[in-house]
Amino acid sequence: MIKYYIKIVLFLLISILFSIEKNLFAQEFISYFSMQYDKIMVSPSFAGYRESPELYASFYRQWTGIEGSPTAASLSFNTPLSKKMGFGLAISNFRSGNFRQFQAQAMYAYKIKLKKNLLLIFGFDAAILKTQMDLSHIISQGNDPILQNSSGLGALFFNAGGSILLQHKTALFGISVPSTLATEAKISGTPYSYSQNREFIIHGSYNYKITGNYSLEPALIYTFKNKLLSDNSMIQISLDLNYMKKFDLGFGYKINNGYSLFTGIDLRNNINLQYVYEFGGNALNSSSLGTHRIIFCFKLIKKKTQNEPYIIPKIEENTNFTTNPIDNSEIEILHAENERIRKESNRILSQHERRIEELEKKLADLQKNQSQTIHEKWEAPFDLQNIKFGPNSDKLYSSSFPELNKIVNLMVKDPTAEVQFSAYNNEEFSAGYNLFLSEKRAKALSNYLINRGISPNRIKTEGKGCENIGMSANAPNRIEIRIKKK
């Protein structure tokens, strides 16, 4: 089965390369898109490439400030139809001077799994293209019948295209031919016709994970007109640095056509905004206000509940597997599905086991605390006498040591006893500073006990400032103590 698909790919590649020698015409419109943000505009194989539907809106203005400079706008939508199929729609409008071009596309993609980590995607698109040349501002110096009888020249095309995309892990390589059919349309109001031939796009990218949060993605787009290597071909090279799949910063270069800087940010899990600035490369970029581009992306992501159960697909008991032939690819798919279900079940089971352990630990701690509360009792608070500090200081006077040594002796005799110092302060300062000073003084009492061998875990301190001090402004400061015994 894999050899059969490889033969198809080789046949299509040979057909494409054989047709390169023909006289080709490529639109410049592709130069306004990139592999980072407009994959579906580069190749229809990207229709439904992501797991969720996506809506893209893009606006491009080249050489801002110069009248008649090129502008391009696009709106695209793509969604997966199933694990193997995707669908997309896109409209785009291009304008440069008197020339206008409008295009509407429908795209379809089909995925084939060749083997593990190797995916082949075929893309197809059908398009309607309308071109228009505005002649209303052109002044004729003679009797030109076209200018006299028409305000504009236009042509309407119907075309179809195809693409091939090969994906190996995070590496992508593809060839796209947006205009496979060489069509010709008559220009309205004239005896002339306008031809649209093929254009070729070769593209590739590779997403390299640097660390857990950073990844780097180089990308390349090569378009050409007449021959594979010609003067009118175009090469775009870009390098994108991504952080946590939320922030982008990158650099791009169009050979012989200038440089670009781009950045992006996820405003929410499903909304992304990108900005591109192009500069250098030619005189118009230097003499204008630069080239700017804005891309908006909206993803329709299904929200998952945290405890949403995983439902194993049900297989009907009366299914007859012998009526249809089963090839190796179907067996591989079933094995992969079984492996996915096994990993998902193990993940959920592990989450539940961790949660049970957490709840059991919390329950044991709660029961322990309740048991301790029954046997523990704080005695009524009382004031410590003869505790003195220096003015506006947390330094203890030596006259305070005898009283504190009594507390040390009590705690040495009863290793289960605990104390709590509450310091009240009544200095002539602000309430905030009094609170700060009282906390330092309570800590000084704790340090005295710690320096004499009492464990810090048995001592609690708190500063009360001038809260409920219960004395006049000229009264000494107060230290309150509580003792807990089991």
Whole-number average pLDDT of the chain: 78
Provide the residue-wise pLDDT of the chain in tens; the chain has 486 residues: 555 444 444 444 444 443 333 333 333 444 445 556 678 888 999 999 888 899 999 998 888 888 888 899 999 999 999 989 999 999 999 888 878 889 999 999 999 999 888 999 999 999 988 888 776 666 555 555 555 555 556 778 788 889 999 999 899 999 998 876 656 656 555 555 656 667 788 999 999 988 878 999 999 988 876 566 666 678 889 999 999 888 999 998 888 778 889 999 988 778 889 999 888 766 666 677 878 889 988 888 755 444 444 444 444 444 444 444 555 667 878 888 888 898 888 889 888 888 898 898 888 888 777 665 545 577 888 888 888 888 888 898 889 899 999 999 999 999 989 999 999 887 777 888 888 888 999 999 999 999 999 999 999 999 888 776 654 444 457 889 999 877
Each residue of 386-423: pLDDT tens digit?
888 888 888 988 898 999 999 999 999 999 899 999 99
Are the beta carbons of 120 and 100 closer than 8 angstroms? no
Are the beta carbons of 295 and 56 closer than 8 angstroms? yes
Alpha-carbon separation of residue 357 from 185, 252, 309, 354 (angstroms): 74, 52, 20, 5
- Beta bridge pairs of residue 75: 57, 91
Please tell me the class of the 2-135+147-299 domain.
Answer: mainly beta
270's tokens: 């499903």
CA distance 205 to 49: 15
- The pLDDT of residue 445 is 93
- The pLDDT of residue 135 is 64
Each residue of 59-113: pLDDT tens digit?
988 888 888 888 999 999 999 999 899 999 999 998 888 788 899 999 999 999 9
Closest residue by Cα to residue 426 from 386, 375, 470: 470
What is the domain partition of the chain in residue ranges? 2-135+147-299, 309-314+326-375, 378-485
> For the chain, percent helix, then strand, then coil, each to nearest 5?
25, 40, 35
Say which CATH topology domain 378-485 has: 60s Ribosomal Protein L30; Chain: A; (3.30.1330)
15's tokens: 């057909």
CA distance 133 to 137: 11
